[in-house]
Structure 1
Amino acid sequence: MMIPENLPAYWVNHLSFAMRRALVQRFSAAGHDVSAEEWAVLLILQAHPGLTASALSDKAFRDKTTTTRMVDRLARKGMVTRARDTDDRRVVHITLSPQGQAQFDALAAIAQQMLAQVMQGISPADLAIATQTLRRMTDNLKGDPA
């Protein structure tokens, strides 16, 4: 018999939902209308400016349609811009706008406070092991042909 509370995947999923809920509540309390999924896109674009929608989809683990809708919402909010590639007009690069960068900085401070709470009482060595283990599990799944 499988007991969910004994499975790492249960806790990964549980933590993910709890963090997304807490993050959105904190963003909203600070006056920011940004979903957890939009935050994930902004975080990726901050680290990798100029991604194409396809590359952004891959990094966000989302399908291209969902990613395009999120980018559309962020563009309507003035947080991202799209620019056609100068060599291939079919290619569009997505970056944070100046407004998006300013809002990113405020959101990052909120996210860092939440992460500090999440990691409270956990040693750096344990965090490193957890990160390494989750990465390996993700890699294992990516290599799974099923």
Structure 2
Amino acid sequence: MHFKLDDSLGFWINVVAGKMKNELNRSISMYNITAEQWAVLSRLWEEQGVTQKDLAERTGKDQPNTGRILDKLERKGLVNRIPDTQDRRIVLVFLTDTGCELKEKLIPIVTDVLIRAQRGIDDKDITYLKQILEKLSRNI
């Protein structure tokens, strides 16, 4: 059986993901934030008071990795972990004021990265690509 790497969808997804992650890291490095930290912050801007497990699921990361990201964000003063008042075994994650304030600084930078990456690609093609990637994710 013949296999050509350049014909592999997984190869190209990995190449693009790596390039986008590197560009995002470069673009937001002035705020001492990584792409992984950005993903967690972005989910917390959508909804605070969620568990580490919820954040892991919503960012596509495993719980131990999410825990390490939260450790770093907590040391930077961007998040707090607070025990749930109903069940002290559960810890909920909240943004600090500083974490909330980063939103206005980071979103324009991240938006610019996405605009540059999507240059020359029609909006309907971007929508279709997202649908295909979601299907691939569900299939795996």
Q: TM-score, normalised by structure 2?
A: 0.93
Matched, 1:129 2:114: no
Greater mean deviation of Cα atoms: 114-123 or 39-48? 39-48
Equivalences, count: 139
* Aligned-partner SS, 2:92: strand
Q: Kindly state the Cα deviation for residue 45 of structure 1 after the two structures are TM-superposed.
A: 1.5
Q: Kindly state the Cα deviation for residue 93 of structure 1 after the two structures are TM-superposed.
A: 0.8
List gaps (5 residues or longer) in structure 2. none
Matched, 1:24 2:25: yes
Task: Give the letter aligned to residue 22 of structure 1.
Answer: E
Runs of 4+ with deviation above 6 angstroms:
none
Task: Give the letter aligned to residue 12 of structure 1.
Answer: I
Instruction: Measure, in 1, the Cα distance between the counterparts of 2:105 and 2:98.
Output: 11
* Aligned-partner SS, 2:81: strand
Q: Kindly state the Cα deviation for residue 65 of structure 1 after the two structures are TM-superposed.
A: 1.5
Instruction: Measure, in 2, the Cα distance between the counterparts of 1:123 and 1:38.
Output: 29
Which residue in the other structure is 1:144 paired with?
none
Instruction: Measure, in 2, the Cα distance between the counterparts of 1:59 and 1:118.
Output: 23
Instruction: Measure, in 1, the Cα distance between the counterparts of 2:12 and 2:21.
Output: 14
Question: Where in structure 2 are the equivalents of 1:1-146 lying within 5 Å?
Answer: 1-28=2-29, 31-141=30-140
List gaps (5 residues or longer) in structure 1. 142-146
Instruction: Measure, in 2, the Cα distance between the counterparts of 1:110 and 1:5.
Output: 31
Task: Give the letter aligned to residue 89 of structure 1.
Answer: R
Q: TM-score, normalised by structure 1?
A: 0.89
Task: Give the letter aligned to residue 76 of structure 1.
Answer: R
Q: After superposition, what is the alpha-carbon deviation per residue over 1:88-110, rounded to whole angstroms, capped at 9, x for unaligned?
A: 11111112211011112211111
Task: Give the letter aligned to residue 10 of structure 1.
Answer: F
Instruction: Measure, in 2, the Cα distance between the counterparts of 1:17 and 1:89.
Output: 39
* Aligned-partner SS, 1:39: helix
Greater mean deviation of Cα atoms: 71-80 or 41-50? 41-50
